[in-house]
Amino acid sequence: EVQLVESGGGLVQPGGSLRLSCAASGFTFSRSWMSWVRQAPGKGLEWVANIKEDGGDNYYVDSVKGRFTISRDNAKNSLFLQMNSLRAEDTAVYYCARYVRSHPHYYMDIWGEGTTVTVSS
Amino acid sequence: DIQLTQSPSFLSASVGDRVTITCRASQGINNYLDWYQQKPGKAPKLLIYTASTLESGVPSRFSGSASGTEFTLTISSLQPEDFATYYCQQLKTYPLTFGGGTKVEIK
């Protein structure tokens, strides 16, 4: 079964850190770009970060640059998001997704159910 | 950054209605535009990619079209399971961006 399962969310104080994980199964993870997308309570979707198949290329939304780091372990079919210097505005459900790049087609076709991050004192 | 403006942000419709949602990009994105459906408490689901290609398994009542920087998602005959929020997303340039969403509710 094709699946992505996020974990690692929770309550953290402003300025704190959290590491999210995403376990992939049912597809060739090592050949897939991956993404993190978040959704603040009652708000729309916001793309956060992308990582290339081999981890050699990363992209971030400006609001998390320098604070968040996307990484992966292809041997363990796992994606990560290290979040430092967390702010209240980082409070959201965080989804991992497979990002397909098959020119001219680009899309996110597999999504996890999300993990909730709450930044509050 | 490329801005995506969705309209309307909310619409009320009945089962069987034809529904059209528009997404306007602030600059050319060469049809690198996808549509997602999201139900409360659930992850987004891919419906349409590259402006008009239907994702496998998605009912044929969903369709997408493009004209320059204006993109349209059409549901030909609204079904009870289609009441949800719909988002467009551009994948032409980083940062990837989403539209603000269109919530489709039952009239």
pLDDT in tens, B2-15: 999 999 999 999 99
Region B68-92: mean pLDDT is: 97
**Looking at residue B98, what is its pLDDT?**
98
Minimum distance, in Å, between the CA of residue A40 and any CA atom of chain B:
12
Q: pLDDT band at B92, cuts 50/70/90?
A: very high
Instruction: List C-alpha distances in Å: B46 to A37, A46, B92.
Output: 14, 15, 17
Q: Which residues of A touch B (CB under 8 A)?
A: 35, 37, 44-47, 50, 59-62, 95, 104-109, 111-114
Residues of chain A with Cβ-Cβ distance to B87 below 8 Å are: 44-45
Please give the biggest Cα pair distance in chain B: 38
Identity of the residue in B31, B46, B98 whose CB atom sits nearest the CB atom of A44: B98
What radius of gyration do chain A's Cα atoms show? 14
Q: pLDDT band at B90, cuts 50/70/90?
A: very high
Region B66-82: mean pLDDT is: 97
Mutate to test the interface with B, among A94, A105, A107 (most CBs of B within 10 A): A107
**Looking at residue B97, what is its pLDDT?**
98
Minimum distance, in Å, between the CA of residue B66 and any CA atom of chain A:
15
pLDDT in tens, B28-71: 999 999 999 999 999 999 999 999 999 999 999 999 999 999 99
Cβ-defined contact of B49 to A44 (cutoff 8 Å)? no
**Looking at residue A54, what is its pLDDT?**
95
Pairing of strands A45-51, A105-111: unpaired
Cβ-defined contact of B91 to A106 (cutoff 8 Å)? yes
pLDDT in tens, chain A (121 residues): 999 999 999 999 999 999 999 999 999 999 999 999 999 999 999 999 999 999 999 999 999 999 999 999 999 999 999 999 999 999 999 999 999 999 899 999 999 999 999 999 9
Minimum distance, in Å, between the CA of residue B8 and any CA atom of chain A:
14
For residues A98 and A106, is the Cβ–Cβ distance under 8 A?
Answer: no
3-state helix, strand, coil in chain B (%, to 5): 5, 50, 50
**Mean pLDDT score of chain B:** 97
Cβ-defined contact of B89 to A47 (cutoff 8 Å)? yes
Mutate to test the interface with B, among A5, A34, A108, A116 (most CBs of B within 10 A): A108
Q: pLDDT band at B105, cuts 50/70/90?
A: very high
Exposure b/e, A21-57, CB count within 10 A at least 16 = b:
bbbbeebebeebbbbbbbbeeeeebbbbbbbbbeeee
Region B16-29: mean pLDDT is: 97
